[in-house]
Amino acid sequence: MDKSVQTEIEAAVFRRLIDHLDEHKEVQNIELMILADFCRNCLAKWYSKAAADNGESIDYEQARQIVYKMPYSEWKDNFQLPATPEQLAAFEARQQQK
């Protein structure tokens, strides 16, 4: 496969992942962390790092706005629920596995 075609496909997959997460705001970041060991914030960190690796300046907050499709503070106010004791325990257990 041509490298530029591969990059286009990978970019399309990333955009679809962002759209999918946006369509499922009910899925909390802590749930993603428990199940998959990454969340929307991780994607933003990876995005910012990849930009820097390619000579672009996109800070963490700018990257979060791309991932969340809105300012993080707005997403947090409208969609983030407090973590339950069960979620916190599962998250801590997941962290202990590392």
| Three-state SS letters, the chain | CCHHHHHHHHHHHHHHHHHHHHHCCCCCHHHHHHHHCCCHHHHHHHHHHHHHHCCCCCCHHHHHHHHHCCCHHHHHHHHCCCCCHHHHHHHHHHHHCC
Q: What pLDDT score does 73 carry?
A: 97
Q: What is the pLDDT of residue 66?
A: 98
Token code pair at residue 54: 């390619």
Domain ranges of the chain: 3-96
Say which CATH architecture domain 3-96 belongs to. Answer: Orthogonal Bundle (1.10)
User: What pTM was estimated for this model as a whole?
Assistant: 0.91
Residue-level pLDDT, tens digit, the chain, 98 residues:
999 999 999 999 999 999 999 999 999 999 999 999 999 999 999 999 999 999 999 999 999 999 999 999 999 999 999 999 999 999 999 999 87
